[in-house]
């Protein structure tokens, strides 16, 4: 059956090439056209700019290891309030989450690896100089709130520092 289909395809393509002349010859292999088609996803910069700034944030997390937003945008020179909620059911020992806002230039990977060793301090390395602000670690059904002054204008990174989570639980914190 496969051979038959393939043979039919060959004949069809061959016929098209022969009938169409040189112009159509280029068009014949349709799979090549699909590959060359431009991506439909909008550039990321446009997406960032569509997000409205708000200094009153509700950020949730869940048992699927996800933050509800990956881009947070706030206005500089003002206070920021973040209500951080865990909508899951799992305990903080198994699926704990926090919100950790990193200083500029701090590597998420090296910080995340360092943080994963700090189990006695809710995965925040003691005396760290890499963090602007962070929430406590919460488990399913819990909620915590932090308030802080917006840092200087720019783009920062936030992560959950529970071991292994920062690979997916990460985002941009933009101060405009």
Minimum distance from residue 172 beta carbon to Cu ion (Å): 17
Using rule CB under 5 A, residue 85 touches Cu ion: no
Q: How many CB atoms lie within 10 A of CB 117?
A: 11
**Torsion sign, CA atoms 64, 168, 71, 125:** positive
Minimum distance from residue 98 beta carbon to Cu ion (Å): 7
The stretch among 76-84, 120-128, 142-150, 153-161 that binds Cu ion (CB under 5 A) is 153-161
The stretch among 46-54, 117-125, 133-141, 158-166 that binds Cu ion (CB under 5 A) is 158-166
Among 156, 162, 166, 173, binds Cu ion (CB under 5 A): 162
Using rule CB under 5 A, residue 97 touches Cu ion: yes
Minimum distance from residue 122 beta carbon to Cu ion (Å): 11
> Regarding beta strands 56-61 and 170-175, do their DSSP bridges make them parallel or antiparallel, or are they unpaired?
unpaired
Among 160, 171, 173, 175, binds Cu ion (CB under 5 A): 160
Q: What stretches of 111-169 adopt beta strand conformation (E)?
A: 131-134, 143-149, 154-159
Q: How many CB atoms lie within 10 A of CB 110?
A: 10
Among 137, 138, 165, 166, binds Cu ion (CB under 5 A): 165
Nearer residue to Cu ion within complex by CB, 55 or 85: 85
Minimum distance from residue 67 beta carbon to Cu ion (Å): 8
Q: How far apart are CA 132 and CA 138, in angstroms?
A: 19
Nearer residue to Cu ion within complex by CB, 112 or 175: 112
**Phi, psi for 14 (deg, rounded to 5):** -60, -45
Q: How far apart are CA 24 and CA 16, in angstroms?
A: 8
**Is residue 137 within 8 Å of residue 160, measured between CB atoms?**
no
Minimum distance from residue 91 beta carbon to Cu ion (Å): 12
| 66 closest CA partner among 163, 175, 173, 159 | 159
Residue whose beta carbon is closest to Cu ion = 160
Which positions touch Cu ion (CB under 5 A)? 97, 160, 162, 165, 169
């Amino acid at each position: 059956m496969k051979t038959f289909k393939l043979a039919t395809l060959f004949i069809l393509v061959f016929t098209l090439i022969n009938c169409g002349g040189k112009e159509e010859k280029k068009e014949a292999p349709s799979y090549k056209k699909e590959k060359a088609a431009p991506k439909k996803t909008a550039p990321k910069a446009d997406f960032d700019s569509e997000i409205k700034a708000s200094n009153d944030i509700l950020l949730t997390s869940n048992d699927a290891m996800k933050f509800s937003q990956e881009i947070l945008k706030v206005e500089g020179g003002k206070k920021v309030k973040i209500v951080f909620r865990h909508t899951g059911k799992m305990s903080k020992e198994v699926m704990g989450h926090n919100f950790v806002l990193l200083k500029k230039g701090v590597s998420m990977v090296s910080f995340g690896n360092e943080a994963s060793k700090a189990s006695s301090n809710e995965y925040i390395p003691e005396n760290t100089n890499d963090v602007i602000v962070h929430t406590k670690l919460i488990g399913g059904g819990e909620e915590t709130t932090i308030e802080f002054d917006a840092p200087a204008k720019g783009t920062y990174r936030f992560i959950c520092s529970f071991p292994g989570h920062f690979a997916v639980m990460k985002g941009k914190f933009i101060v405009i």
